[in-house]
Amino acid sequence: MRPDANSYRDAWCGEVLPGRVGETVRLAGWVHRRRDHGGLVFTDLRDRTGIVQVVFNPEVAPQAHAQSHDLRSEWVISVRGEVVPRSEETVNPDMPTGEIEVRATELDVLAPAATPPFPLDEETVVDEALRLRHRYLDLRREPMQVALALRHRVTQAIRDHLHEAGFLEIETPILTRSTPEGARDFVVPARMQRGAFYALPQSPQLFKQLLMIAGFERYYQIARCFRDEALRADRQLEFTQLDMELAFVDEEDVMAATEGVLGAAFAAGGVELTVPFPRLHYDDVIARFGTDRPDTRFGMEIRDLGDALKETEFKVFRGALESGGVVRGINAGRHELSRAELDRLIEFAQGQGAGGLVWAYVEEGGGWRSPVAKFLSEGELRAIATALEAAPGDLLLLVADDAGVAAQSLGALRLELGERFGLIGAGHWHALWVTDFPLVEWNDDEGRWDALHHPFTSPSEQSLGLLPENPAAARARAYDVVLNGVELGGGSIRINRAEVQYRVLETLGIDHAAADQKFGFLIEALKHGAPPHGGIAFGLDRMAALLAGRDSIRDVIAFPKTATGQDPLTGAPAPIDETQLRELGVRVDAPAPQP
């Protein structure tokens, strides 16, 4: 970065490199550290680009040196001085600017600073609540500077790529009507229509479809989305999506466009993704990995043992198979675990809903060391070993249960063991598509079918005839991108005919009248010539966190909220005045929260 010379600076701290020895530079920034060595005062001066050492020497510049005694951490200063080589003993090979220092001739104190409530060096681990309370200080720390700069590069690469590919970036409203992505809406009381409320968008879904109907054909937006949901598992109430929509496309077109933009985004973060991503059928990933977010960086795939156990006399297995369930297992490899560790694995599987977990060690000669060995025939042991490609010494783990429970528990166990046995190599990036999702899933609490993706997702052509009577068998033209076991994004080909939209909504328990009332504007638009269209959306926060190697998306968001949805910096959410409430026609029942 080259600054235009101004009265504060004509060079950046991080760029005062040995090639500039002999030059006079003017720098500005924050005092990172200060050491008073009797005669000489050393400061590390920090700006956005890095740190450089500035020396105040009473013999060179008596006035600046006298002023420098007052400097403290985080004071804002501007200095002029000469770039000189450091003496050999004081060279710091860990710093890009470690071979030189700036011998100050002038010092301007631009602003003093209170003592920071925590050190701003990288090493100190600071409580997150404190970091968020003083986020502007936390953001001065190098890891945060690096993370947000990375996020910017990723976003910029997305914009450049999509611009080149003919996409238009179009903003959609924040004050709008409910968009059903399955979460609770945030609502805003409308002062000018008392008693009515705007909803904040859970995604720009309906607007991007309207933009396709409006003829824009290729749209994208770095869109802020709002979902009022419990913040388990590293979510935020407001988050950012890369949102895209294309007209006159099928699944393959959207996938190809997506691979292009993701390739560019990840390249900007220094990661090369191999394209095209493999396409895996939903049924296949559930069977093999027990989840629709498979981590394919390691094997240990789930195998069905129904065939091997067709004739089994063993009560537990037989019972499961006869009642329509399954027996499935994984080969955890050659890992000798203690009895206590095996017990913990059983508890783990039970915690995932499984009735139990059978463990077995394969012995030389094909026998098993296992609590259930005596209940299984030699042929069954062999058939199971073959299905699981087991060799002597391997640990086999089996679940006999309903198919969903077996998938869930073995899938979780597989991840747990993959982690524990160190099978997930760092630096591996496995992206894939999951396709052919079911159209709907049963919502037990509400006693109705819910869209698995959202209600505007097109059923496959073959599935159309199944609606509304037999929705369970229907498939959606939906697809998800999964990276290293994390769902990065998902989308679908949409319904572009009003009568199909009515049929899908009816399947979801929304009759004609209710459909008109809730989504009348979309259905009306569909009647005015909607092209076939489809799109996708990605969590940009998650993408940036993965690339930055951070566990939490909070580390790639400048001003995130806590798990309870609060912002310790501004104190949001906060009560509002009586007058404001009256204007809005809103009465609050709850007692005001304690600040």
Binding-site member from 203, 312, 435, 507 for ligand ASP (CB under 6 A): 203
Phi-psi sector, 383: left (phi>0), alpha (psi -120 to 50), beta: alpha
Work out how close the CB of 146 gets to ligand ASP at its nearest, in angstroms, rounded to a whole number: 28
Work out how close the CB of 249 gets to ligand ASP at its nearest, in angstroms, rounded to a whole number: 12
Measured CA to CA, the distance from residue 35 to residue 46 in angstroms comes to: 15
Work out how close the CB of 96 gets to ligand ASP at its nearest, in angstroms, rounded to a whole number: 41
Q: What are phi and psi of 531, to 5 degrees?
A: -70, 155
> Distance of CA 298 to CAs 4, 29, 286, 332, 385, Å?
51, 47, 16, 11, 20
- By CB under 6 A, the count of residues binding ligand ASP is 9
Asked if 357 interacts with ligand ASP (CB under 6 A), we say: no
Work out how close the CB of 534 gets to ligand ASP at its nearest, in angstroms, rounded to a whole number: 8
Asked if 476 interacts with ligand ASP (CB under 6 A), we say: no
Contact residues for 178 (Cβ-Cβ < 8 A; gap 6+):
185, 199, 202, 518
CB hemisphere CA count around 292 (13 angstroms): 19
Among the residue ranges 139-147, 290-298, 530-538, 583-591, the one whose residues contact ligand ASP (CB under 6 A)? 530-538
Among the residue ranges 39-47, 97-105, 398-406, 484-492, the one whose residues contact ligand ASP (CB under 6 A)? 484-492
3-state secondary structure labels for all residues of 323-375 = CCCEEEEEEEECCCCCHHHHHHHHHHHHHCCCCCCEEEEECHHHCEECCCHHH
Work out how close the CB of 519 gets to ligand ASP at its nearest, in angstroms, rounded to a whole number: 14
The one-letter amino acid code at 465 reads G
Nearer to ligand ASP, 80 or 477 (CB): 477
Work out how close the CB of 209 gets to ligand ASP at its nearest, in angstroms, rounded to a whole number: 9
Chain positions 533 to 552 lying near ligand ASP, rule: CB under 6 A, are: 535-537
Chain positions 235 to 274 lying near ligand ASP, rule: CB under 6 A, are: none
- Select from 206, 203, 188 the least CA-distant residue to 501: 206
Nearer to ligand ASP, 329 or 535 (CB): 535
Binding-site member from 408, 458, 492, 496 for ligand ASP (CB under 6 A): 492
Site string for ligand ASP, 556-585 (x = CB under 6 A): ------------------------------
Binding-site member from 181, 234, 436, 583 for ligand ASP (CB under 6 A): 181
Among the residue ranges 284-292, 298-306, 387-395, 488-496, the one whose residues contact ligand ASP (CB under 6 A)? 488-496
State whether residue 562 is helix, strand or coil.
Answer: coil
Alpha helices in 202-309 (DSSP H): 205-213, 251-268, 282-289
Nearer to ligand ASP, 14 or 204 (CB): 204
Nearer to ligand ASP, 142 or 234 (CB): 234
> Distance of CA 214 to CAs 16, 261, 415, Å?
53, 24, 45
What 307-314 contacts at long range (C-beta under 8 Å, 24+ apart), as own/partner pairs, is 307/383, 307/387, 308/380, 308/383, 308/384, 308/386, 308/387, 309/380, 309/383, 309/384, 311/380, 312/376, 312/377, 312/380, 313/375, 313/377, 314/372, 314/375, 314/376, 314/380
Nearer to ligand ASP, 418 or 490 (CB): 490
Helix axes 251-268, 540-548, angle to 10 degrees: 40
Nearer to ligand ASP, 418 or 489 (CB): 489
Measured CA to CA, the distance from residue 55 to residue 41 in angstroms comes to: 6
Asked if 205 interacts with ligand ASP (CB under 6 A), we say: yes
Among the residue ranges 98-106, 434-442, 490-498, 516-524, the one whose residues contact ligand ASP (CB under 6 A)? 490-498
Nearer to ligand ASP, 67 or 492 (CB): 492
Work out how close the CB of 536 gets to ligand ASP at its nearest, in angstroms, rounded to a whole number: 5
Work out how close the CB of 496 gets to ligand ASP at its nearest, in angstroms, rounded to a whole number: 14
Binding-site member from 29, 201, 418, 491 for ligand ASP (CB under 6 A): 491
Q: What are 538's two structure tokens?
A: 């990605």
As beta bridge partners, residue 252 has none
Work out how close the CB of 224 gets to ligand ASP at its nearest, in angstroms, rounded to a whole number: 12
Nearer to ligand ASP, 172 or 492 (CB): 492
- Name the closest residue to ligand ASP (Cβ): 203
Nearer to ligand ASP, 363 or 450 (CB): 450
- The single residue listed with the structure tokens 């139990």 is 356
Nearer to ligand ASP, 212 or 474 (CB): 212
Among the residue ranges 114-122, 147-155, 417-425, 529-537, the one whose residues contact ligand ASP (CB under 6 A)? 529-537
Nearer to ligand ASP, 102 or 523 (CB): 523
Quickly list DSSP for 71-140: --TT-EEEEEEEEEEPPGGG--TTSTTTTEEEEEEEEEEEE--PPPSS--SSSS---HHHHHHTHHHHTT
What is the contact surface with ligand ASP in residues (CB under 6 A)? 181, 203, 205, 490-492, 535-537
